[in-house]
């Protein structure tokens, strides 16, 4: 009994904080808008003078309320599974949730009635938002409404949690999913593609082809975003080798991106170097220079581990940024103004510059880099990297030259970043010191961690999440970054290993089916006493 009350209380407080936070940053309105877009009820006429916005907000709150109740009714290990307990805990969670949300509504409503302009304090709190929040009711009525509303949804949530066996529903749900997946894989068509190698290749080909056609369909803005995401995928794949595989925490990764970008910029732009080389000639130069810089950075930090390595590489990243801005080098790099009119790639004599072409170029680079990464990872070199990440001391005791493998990881990671820099500078037709600030390093690192360290689909997913999601979240305007940060925190709580964690290759079962677990009978066993 006591346990139910405590659980309900906790869930109620947590959901109160979450709901109020989401409301104050305007996230609730965004969700309501999204629900509206899904239901297409912008112009629906509703009873009781409700606007569609109010209805959509209530739909969102309905789910939140059920979630709060279900969360409050969670079963403790070893506890008897009772209906009363679940309903009690769910109801209590809902009551507290409703009480505080209602209080907020009452407070905001009263202030609005008194004529206080809340937008001064919270940009989201327009009068219309508050009116929507109160469902068009008077402040006190609205508060009571929320109390009752969340109490009822809390009880419903408790019932839902109990009805689904609490906690166990997650297990049964995953079982159900797996069963569905089995069914899908047993479909004739799917089976055909699974067993028939040529058909599978054709299917993959069609999917890739569709993906290739995508840039032609979507507009200029989305192509630009797609290109940015692609460049971050390149950077993420490079950093994935350094951090994800070799386990070297490199916070100065932006330096190699900058070296790639500046190399192509200085060699192809009319000023400040007057070289104007062909784009394609500069690509390998930029990649080699970046890789070389990776080695140069690698040598002094070879013996550092963990935090120390992170700090030193952070410094290296800053040095590059400062150098690019410095007056001393203005003649050479263009200084704070940067380099304009960076050359574009040319093909059969005419240069192409539109975002679509760059999306294709980025896509090609990404595919190339993925192939290289996959091949390295499944080789002796990749295994040495991973061994180093797991336990450097033991890796050395296993005969791995950790120094040369660290340098190799730095060089290859840097080369990928250099390639990213080339495409980035050439696409923007401009490059400047501001493009290479520390946030790039952090963003790339975040995309590797969010996606799942060491996992290739994870890196791609992470880059889409980190660079693509903010574009989708534009609705939130000022609170975009805040909501984004909150989302990241929530995501790491739900999936600590990343969006798509790395999966190990199955090498034994793949080659020797039916291997039993027992030791192999040894012909020479008789020799041992």
Partner 1 sequence: MNTIALETNNLTKRFGGLVAVSNVDLQIPEQSIFSVIGPNGAGKTTFYNCITGFYTPEEGDVTFYNKSLVGLTPDRIAQMGIARTYQNIRLFANMTALENILVGQHHLLKTSWIEAILQTPRMRKEEISALEEAMRLLRFVGLGGMGDQVARNLPYGAQRRLEVARALALKPKLLLLDEPTAGMNPNETVDMMRFIQRLRDELGITILLIEHDMRVVMGISEQIAVLDYGIKIAEGTPREIQGNTQVIEAYLGRGATTAA
List contacts with partner 1 (CB under 8 A): 372, 375-376, 378-384, 386-387, 390-391, 393-402, 408, 412, 504-509, 511-512, 515-520, 522, 524-525, 527-529
Q: Name the minimum Å distance from CB 211 to partner 1.
A: 24
Report the residue number, 6 or 396, with the smaller CB distance to partner 1: 396
Neighbouring C-beta atoms of residue 475, cutoff 10 Å: 15
| Tokens of residue 406, six digits | 């660290």
Would you put residue 33 in left (φ > 0), alpha (ψ -120 to 50) or beta? alpha
Residue number, 77 or 518, with CB nearest to partner 1: 518
Q: Minimal distance in Å, beta carbon 514 to partner 1? A: 9
CB of 393 to partner 1, least distance (A): 7
CB of 142 to partner 1, least distance (A): 53
Least separation in angstroms between residue 511's CB and partner 1 is 7
Closest to partner 1 by CB, 189 or 374: 374
| Residues near 30 by beta carbon (within 8 Å), at least 6 away in sequence | 473, 475, 476
Judged by DSSP in three states, 430 sits in strand
CA–CA separation, 373 and 115 (whole Å): 62
Q: Which residues lie closer than 8 Å to 512 by C-beta, 6 or more apart?
A: none
Shortest approach of partner 1 to residue 498 CB, angstroms?
A: 13
H or E, element range at 340: strand 339-340
Least separation in angstroms between CB 506 and partner 1: 5
Integer angstrom CA distances of residue 279 from 172, 287, 367, 489: 56, 13, 20, 41
> What backbone torsions phi and psi does residue 268 show, to the nearest 5 degrees?
-110, -20
The span from the first CA to the last CA of the chain, in angstroms, equals: 64
Q: Which is nearer to partner 1, 162 or 389 (CB)?
A: 389
Instruction: State how far the Cα of 18 lies from the Cα of 67, in Å rounded to an integer.
Output: 12
The string of DSSP codes covering 441-497 is HHHHHHHHHHH-TT-HHHHHHHHIIIIIHHHHGGGGGGGHHHHHHHHHHHHHHH-TT
Pair type for strands 350-351 and 339-340: unpaired
Q: In this complex, which beta carbon is closest to partner 1, that of residue 307 or of residue 522?
A: 522
The nearer residue to partner 1, 88 or 387, going by C-beta atoms, is: 387
Could you tell me the smallest distance in angstroms from the CB atom of residue 264 to partner 1? 23
Q: Which residue, 226 or 387, has its beta carbon nearer to partner 1?
A: 387
Q: Which residue number, 327 or 508, has a Cβ lying nearer to partner 1?
A: 508
């Amino acid at each position: 009994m006591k346990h139910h009350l405590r659980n309900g209380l906790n869930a109620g407080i947590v959901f109160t904080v979450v709901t109020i936070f989401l409301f104050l940053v305007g996230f609730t309105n965004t969700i309501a808008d999204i629900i509206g877009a899904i239901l297409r009820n912008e112009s629906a006429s509703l009873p009781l003078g409700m606007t569609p916005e109010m209805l959509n907000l209530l739909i969102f709150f309905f789910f939140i309320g059920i979630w709060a109740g279900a969360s409050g009714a969670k079963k403790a290990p070893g506890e008897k599974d009772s209906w009363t307990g679940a309903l009690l805990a769910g109801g209590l969670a809902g009551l507290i949730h409703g009480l505080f949300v209602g209080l907020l509504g009452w407070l905001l409503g009263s202030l609005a009635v008194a004529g206080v302009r809340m937008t001064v304090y919270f940009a989201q709190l327009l009068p219309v938002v508050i009116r929507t929040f109160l469902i068009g009711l008077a402040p006190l009525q609205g508060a009571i409404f929320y109390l009752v509303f969340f109490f009822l949804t809390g009880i419903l949530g408790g019932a839902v949690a109990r009805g689904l066996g609490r906690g166990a529903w997650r297990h049964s749900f995953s079982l159900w999913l797996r069963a569905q997946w089995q069914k899908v894989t047993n479909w004739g068509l799917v089976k055909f593609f699974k067993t028939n190698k040529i058909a599978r290749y054709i299917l993959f080909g069609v999917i890739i082809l569709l993906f290739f056609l995508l840039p032609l369909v979507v507009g200029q803005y989305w192509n630009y975003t797609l290109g940015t995401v692609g460049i971050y995928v390149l950077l993420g794949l490079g950093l994935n080798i350094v951090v994800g595989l070799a386990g070297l925490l490199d916070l100065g990764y932006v330096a190699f991106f900058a070296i790639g970008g500046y190399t192509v910029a200085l060699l192809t732009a009319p000023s400040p170097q007057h070289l104007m080389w062909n784009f394609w000639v500069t690509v390998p130069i930029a990649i080699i220079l970046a890789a070389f810089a990776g080695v140069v950075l690698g040598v002094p930090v070879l013996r550092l581990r963990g935090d120390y390595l992170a700090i030193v590489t952070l410094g290296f990243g800053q040095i590059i940024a400062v150098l690019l801005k410095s007056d001393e080098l203005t003649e050479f790099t263009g200084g704070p103004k940067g380099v304009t009119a960076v050359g574009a790639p040319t093909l059969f004599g005419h240069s192409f510059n539109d975002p679509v072409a760059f999306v294709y170029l980025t896509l090609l680079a990404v595919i190339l880099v993925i192939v290289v990464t996959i091949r390295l990872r499944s080789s002796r070199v990749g295994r040495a990297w991973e061994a180093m990440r797991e336990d450097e001391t033991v890796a050395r005791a296993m005969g791995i030259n950790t120094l040369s493998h660290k340098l190799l990881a730095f060089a290859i990671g840097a080369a990928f970043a250099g390639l990213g820099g080339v495409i980035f500078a050439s696409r923007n037709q401009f490059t400047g010191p501001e493009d290479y600030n520390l946030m790039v390093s952090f963003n790339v690192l975040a995309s590797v961690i969010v996606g799942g360290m060491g996992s290739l689909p994870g890196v791609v997913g992470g880059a889409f999440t980190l660079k693509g999601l903010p574009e989708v979240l534009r609705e939130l305007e000022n609170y975009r970054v805040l909501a984004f940060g909150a989302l990241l925190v929530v995501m790491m709580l739900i999936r600590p290993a990343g969006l798509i964690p790395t999966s190990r290759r199955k090498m034994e079962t793949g080659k020797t089916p039916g291997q039993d677990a027992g030791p192999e009978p040894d012909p020479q066993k008789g020799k041992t006493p």
